[in-house]
């Protein structure tokens, strides 16, 4: 058994993804590139309301799905040190 690279479900070895939706989401997530200056601006200078507005504008400008963009921003925020990992937040 293999696993879907996007949702991590178990799939047959002959398949690469469990569904067409997972395939599209996976490749769009890879295509999303977020500039470090944008990350700095939304994490340092923006309030929560402004942050949501900026993310929505950025997604619309680049024609990306908002939920995928938010996931990518969350990952990048942890990598760049703007946020703690989820394990540290629970402690």
Looking at residue 91, what is its pLDDT? 47
Give the predicted TM-score (pTM) of the model. 0.77
Burial of 69 (0-12, 13-18, 19+ CB in 10 A): buried
Residues 12 and 41 in one domain: no
Domain housing 65? 32-91
pLDDT digits (tens, 9 = 90+) for 26-76: 999 899 999 999 999 999 998 999 999 999 999 999 999 999 999 999 999
Residues 25 and 38 in one domain: no
- Counting the structural domains of the chain, the total is 2
| Whole-number Å distance between alpha carbons of 39 and 35 | 7
Residues 44 and 19 in one domain: no
Residues 42 and 69 in one domain: yes
Looking at residue 2, what is its pLDDT? 87
């Amino acid at each position: 058994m293999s696993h879907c690279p996007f949702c991590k479900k178990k799939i047959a070895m002959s398949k690469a993804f469990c569904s067409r939706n997972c395939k599209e989401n996976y490749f769009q997530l890879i295509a999303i590139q977020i500039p470090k200056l944008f990350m700095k601006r939304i994490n340092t200078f923006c309030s929560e309301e402004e942050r949501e507005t900026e993310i929505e504008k950025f997604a619309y400008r680049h024609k990306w799905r908002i939920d995928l963009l938010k996931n990518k921003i969350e990952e990048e925020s942890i990598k760049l040190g703007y946020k703690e990992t989820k394990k540290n937040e629970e402690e």
